Amino acid sequence: MKLIILSIVLAYCVTVNCQDACPVEAEAPSSTPTVPTSCEAKEGECIDTRCATCKRDILSDGLCENKPGKTCCRMCQYVIECRVEAAGYFRTFYGKRFNFQEPGKYVLARGTKGGDWSVTLTMENLDGQKGAVLTKTTLEVAGDVIDITQATADPITVNGGADPVIANPFTIGEVTIAVVEIPGFNITVIEFFKLIVIDILGGRSVRIAPDTANKGLISGICGNLEMNDSDDFTTDADQLAIQPNINKEFDGCPFYGNPSDIEYCKGLMEPYRAVCRNNINFYYYTLSCAFAYCMGGEERAKHVLFDYVETCAAPETRGTCVLSGHTFYDTFDKARYQFQGPCKEILMAADCYWNTWDVKVSHRDVESYTEVEKVTIRKQSTVVDLIVDGKQVKVGGVDVSIPYSSENTSIYWQDGDILTTAILPEALVVKFNFKQLLVVHIRDPFDGKTCGICGNYNQDSTDDFFDAEGACALTPNPPGCTEEQKPEAERLCNSLFDTSIDEKCNVCYKPDRIGRCMYEYCLRGQQGFCDHAWEFKKECYIKHGDTLEVPPECQ
């Protein structure tokens, strides 16, 4: 059993109180290229000139989506997911959004390598309502069939009832089913195979999120996970079959909502807005609610409200912490800082509630700085050591060959030189390139229960801090760039993070990323810059599934 998620979210912004495409650095110099701070729309075009012109979205004025290569309405991507929403909207893995409300059964996603899994949707027309809504999701994995009836109190049936769900989590064959309790509601999480997850939300919403290890091995309405703008609705048979019926308007129910319906939905959703923990576009959900209310009345609008409340309260489908370079950290909650110290087994991340797992990093001195020497992953009594010298992998102190699999641990190569260690059902995933790139993924059951240099995963970066002085004696950071180094460092690093990169790998905090790049160049010259470029290429692939070319100087 192996799995978890990743996702792209394509944000749509409105003219009032527009959600930022990316958080803005308060002290970023104006001369440094950054992502736009707004994506307001007027007459189908984005106002922010740094976006250029965004193509007209189906929702007309007030909403826009980015052109290829533009970042005006594309949020920073941390997780790749395909989503079915209560108002009949779909989002592909790449982030393309459309409305589809035709009764029938449709393949949302399937495995194309062996065809050993599929997720099928059943959409039905309910009495007295327009269009169709999601009523059932069916997962078939290696002979087992899991039916999930949407919008019911006891939704799960396994193999037609022959295998009752008697535990939480419950495992059958290659599938693990868990009910994650969120204050006020539950989310059913189904995980299977190599890091694939399905979240069944409380109303009529589903999200499926595969790890990038499945890139190019998926087909269906969600797309192929190749993350190319040109792939959606061009070759996939399932997408082409529904294309004639997407974005169909219904009499009296415009996509952008009737004014009276919008006012009704604002009143319905406003009480939850003040307690929303995530950066969710309230107006986007208001318009979706208004459309649903027109199509099916209070019941269908209520399911959009469920979708909004759950998206507000639940953490991202996966928390990600990254160690890169010498030695920069991005915590689960997106705080960013640098820490240098030759510590032995410094705690990077841990379950500090049940004490079931932890990830520790050992550093060693290299002249005036430190670098990673070893990564140690513990799950209960199982200990996995990833040793940089010789790319050694040990389980319980014994050398093992890759791929390796035990009852709850799977270790395999991803993209040639990224070693991935997946531990389930805790859903801890560690990715390491045996150099200076280490990525730790965890799922939402650990929301608010983690500690270490990656922080407390609770969607609040203000409490992310690390007592470095208490952990070990710090290695003084090397001096900054000399006047002789600075021009070449700026040239190389600005070229690495120029605007063309946004088409492939949307980058937030560009000034910070450029600063890290310059640090690596000034630390170790051309080799430092090239190592940084290669590690960023891997980081982009791990996080977003996008493949970048390294600069000519490093090829």
- Over residues 442-467, the pLDDT tens digits come to 865 566 788 888 888 877 777 776 66
Please give the residue that has the higher pLDDT: either 511 or 29: 511
Of 434, 430, 431, 459, nearest in space to 444 by CA? 459
CA 369, CA 17: separation in Å to the nearest integer? 45
- This prediction's pTM: 0.65
Of 321, 333, 398, nearest in space to 361 by CA? 321
Average pLDDT score over residue span 528-540? 83
Residue 201 has pLDDT above 80, yes or no: no
pLDDT given at position 12: 27
CA 204, CA 212: separation in Å to the nearest integer? 26
Percent with pLDDT over 70 in the chain: 71
Residue 350 has pLDDT above 70, yes or no: yes
CA 482, CA 497: separation in Å to the nearest integer? 21
Q: Running DSSP on this structure, what letter comes out for residue 445? A: G
In one letter, which amino acid is 217? Answer: L
| C-beta neighbour count of 241 within 10 angstroms | 13
Contacts of 166 (CB under 8 A, 6+ apart): none
pLDDT given at position 507: 60
pLDDT given at position 115: 64
pLDDT given at position 61: 35
Please give the residue that has the higher pLDDT: either 353 or 384: 384
Structure tokens at 156: 């799960």
- Of the listed ranges 61-75, 466-480, 524-538, the least confidently predicted one is 61-75
Q: How many CA atoms lie within 13 A of 160 on its CB side?
A: 1
pLDDT single digits (tens) 247-273 = 888 888 988 789 999 999 999 999 988
pLDDT given at position 415: 65
Residue 38 has pLDDT above 70, yes or no: no
Of 176, 448, 429, nearest in space to 318 by CA? 429
CA 45, CA 467: separation in Å to the nearest integer? 48
Residue 380 has pLDDT above 80, yes or no: yes
Most confident segment among 338-352, 387-401, 414-428, 438-452:
387-401
Of 281, 277, 212, nearest in space to 447 by CA? 277
pLDDT given at position 15: 26
Residue 35 has pLDDT above 50, yes or no: no
For residue 32, name the pLDDT band (cuts at 50, 70, 90).
Answer: very low
**Which residues on neighbouring strands pair with residue 418, listed in sequence order?**
414
Q: Tell me the residue ranges of DSSP E strands in 480-551.
A: none
Helix (H) or strand (E) holding 526: helix 510-544
CA 435, CA 7: separation in Å to the nearest integer? 25
User: Tokens 């208004």 appear where?
Assistant: 290
Phi, psi of 54 (to 5 degrees): -95, 145
Helix (H) or strand (E) holding 140: strand 133-141
Most confident segment among 295-299, 427-431, 541-545:
295-299
Phi, psi of 151 (to 5 degrees): 60, 40
Q: Do the beta carbons of residue 288 and residue 302 sit within 8 Å?
A: no
Does residue 99 sit in helix, strand or coil? strand
pLDDT single digits (tens) 466-483 = 665 555 555 555 557 888
CA 385, CA 361: separation in Å to the nearest integer? 10
Residue 310 has pLDDT above 50, yes or no: yes
CA 378, CA 358: separation in Å to the nearest integer? 5
Bond prior to 403 in cis (omega within 30° of 0): yes
Please give the residue that has the higher pLDDT: either 228 or 503: 228
Average pLDDT score over residue span 396-420? 80
Of 270, 148, 274, nearest in space to 202 by CA? 148
pLDDT given at position 9: 25
Q: Do the beta carbons of residue 183 and residue 76 sit within 8 Å?
A: no
Most confident segment among 26-30, 73-77, 129-133, 459-463:
129-133
For residue 214, name the pLDDT band (cuts at 50, 70, 90).
Answer: confident
| C-beta neighbour count of 44 within 10 angstroms | 16
**In sequence order, what DSSP letters do the residues of 200-246 get, joined into one string?**
E-SSS-EEEEE-GGGTTSEESTT--S---TTTTTTS-HHHHHHGGGB
Contacts of 370 (CB under 8 A, 6+ apart): 326, 327, 340, 341, 342, 363, 364, 475
pLDDT given at position 124: 92
Q: Do the beta carbons of residue 243 and residue 236 sit within 8 Å?
A: no
For residue 60, name the pLDDT band (cuts at 50, 70, 90).
Answer: very low
Of 301, 273, 297, 79, nearest in space to 204 by CA? 301
First to last CA, the chain: 38
In one letter, which amino acid is 64? Answer: C
pLDDT given at position 152: 77
Please give the residue that has the higher pLDDT: either 510 or 350: 350
**Which residues on neighbouring strands pair with residue 376, listed in sequence order?**
360, 385
Residue 179 has pLDDT above 70, yes or no: yes
Residue 299 has pLDDT above 50, yes or no: yes
CA 333, CA 462: separation in Å to the nearest integer? 9
